[in-house]
Amino acid sequence: MSAQALRLPRSGFGRGHVQAVAGCYFVASFAALGLPPYLTQILPELGDHQARWAGVLYIVPTVFGALGAPLWGRLADRFGRKRLLLRAQLGLAVSFVLAGWADSMATFTVALVLQGILGGTFAASNGYLGAALEGPALSKALTLMQGSARAALVVAPIVVGSLSGWLSPHRQYALLAVLPLTAALLLAALPEPEPVEQPPSRPEAVDGTAPLVSLKGLYALEFAFVFSTVISFPYLIQLVDDRIPGTSPALSGVLFALPHLVYLVSALAVHAAFRDRPQAGIALGFACIALGLAGHGVAGSLTSLIAVRLLLGAGLTLGLVCLSVLAADCAKGRAPGGMFGALEFFSKAGAVAAGLAAAAGSARFGPAAPVLIGGAAAAVTVLATLLPALLPSLNHRTRRSS
């Protein structure tokens, strides 16, 4: 890859720096992604013997992360992206220590609130990369960042479960606080991207090229994508048990991880195939998500479940990769901290809405309801994505017939 493609500034920012940022995000995400599935084991130690508050506490960091992300993004543009990225890693470390040593529900809840407010490592990392790279180099870096998130989502719960034999998941919060602290020390050695003078708002075209999608359109796609995919997460194990009674926890975990594994093995190839046509990729991705989730509603065997999980993985990969390409395009001419902070707000808002819809749908209609709701949302998004492209053709045919 050429220096021009990477847009190397005088600070010498290159591929190794991108890999370091992605690696540090992977390391710091272990507690944030690996421990929440064990809340039903943690809360009885804090007095909630039936773990009734597990569902609420599961989304507490997400809610407060969504509220804080735009502010931290704007501060990063003003005071330095590296500085705010280090702040996010150190904020996670502080909140994890407090959660690990909490001896009451109130203290533990405060720790989760602080995790959301003080964390935001994903948006901070993307803002840092957005200040140093642009175009295909930035979209490829964002694709790598999503790979770090998928890898952590697959590996972290397994590691936490393995450690729980000698240290409870509750106390693992304090132990795993060393990971974001280590990440902060490693990130301290990276350069600060050189400040680039940004216009107050992006014009309608940059260098004569119109943007691929409006900023509002990007936010809407991000919300819809996260909603339609995350809604299937909380009750998937229950759905598997309902369809295939006696399924082992290990096999259920593999089925849960399959879509993320598809991303890990195919994301870079998908990026190469769709970086010049992300609108087609995002429509195809939502179509695969809609079909995959609808298939969950009728799948009744292990083979069919594997097939629909792989189809969902194809949609997940297409969606994440093409959203990275669209985000990189929108970042041109904009302050990246504020843009990626706002994008994180809509991502987390989609996750919160998905969690609430999954809980309400499952309670009312059973464990298949969340996947059917998510499939319907994805199908509507496909139509909304394709309609603007179809309307000019329909209008042209109407004028010709008249």
What's the pLDDT tens digit per position in 52-108? Answer: 888 788 889 989 998 898 998 888 888 888 999 999 999 999 999 999 999 999 999
Q: Kindly state the greatest CA–CA separation across the chain.
A: 77
Which residue has tokens 């301290």? 188
CA distances for 396 relative to 280, 383, 384, 388, angstroms: 21, 19, 20, 13
Q: 358 near 231, Cβ under 8 Å?
A: yes
Q: Closest Cα to residue 139, out of 322, 281, 318?
A: 322
Residue-level pLDDT, tens digit, the chain, 402 residues: 333 333 444 345 678 889 999 999 998 888 888 888 788 789 999 988 887 888 788 889 989 998 898 998 888 888 888 999 999 999 999 999 999 999 999 999 999 999 999 988 888 999 999 888 888 899 999 999 999 988 988 888 888 888 888 899 899 999 999 999 999 999 998 888 765 444 444 444 445 566 788 899 999 999 999 999 988 887 787 788 888 888 887 788 788 889 999 999 999 999 999 999 999 999 999 999 999 999 998 888 999 999 999 999 999 999 999 999 999 999 888 888 889 999 999 999 998 998 888 888 888 888 888 899 999 999 999 988 887 654 444 344 444 444
Q: Which amino acid is at 212?
A: L
**Crossing angle for the helix pair 302-331 and 135-163, to the nearest 10 degrees:** 140
The first and second tokens of residue 229, run together, are 């995919």
Tally of residues, the chain:
402
Q: 206 near 108, Cβ under 8 Å?
A: no
b/e per residue 80-109 (b: at least 16 CB within 10 A): bbbebbbbbbbbbbbbbbbbbebeeeeebb
CA distance 170 to 44: 10
Nearest 10 degrees: CA dihedral of 361, 364, 368, 373? -30
The first and second tokens of residue 109, run together, are 């809840």
Residue 209 has phi, psi (to 5 degrees) of: -110, 120
Burial of 126 (0-12, 13-18, 19+ CB in 10 A): buried
Q: Closest Cα to residue 37, out of 159, 131, 133?
A: 159
Q: Closest Cα to residue 95, out of 66, 115, 69, 71?
A: 115
Q: What is the 3-state secondary structure (H, E, C) of 13-73?
A: CCHHHHHHHHHHHHHHHHHHHHCHHHHHHHHHHHCCCCCCCHHHHHHHHHHHHHHHHHHHH
> Residue 268 CB: number of other CB atoms within 10 A?
14
The enclosing H or E element of 223 equals helix 215-230
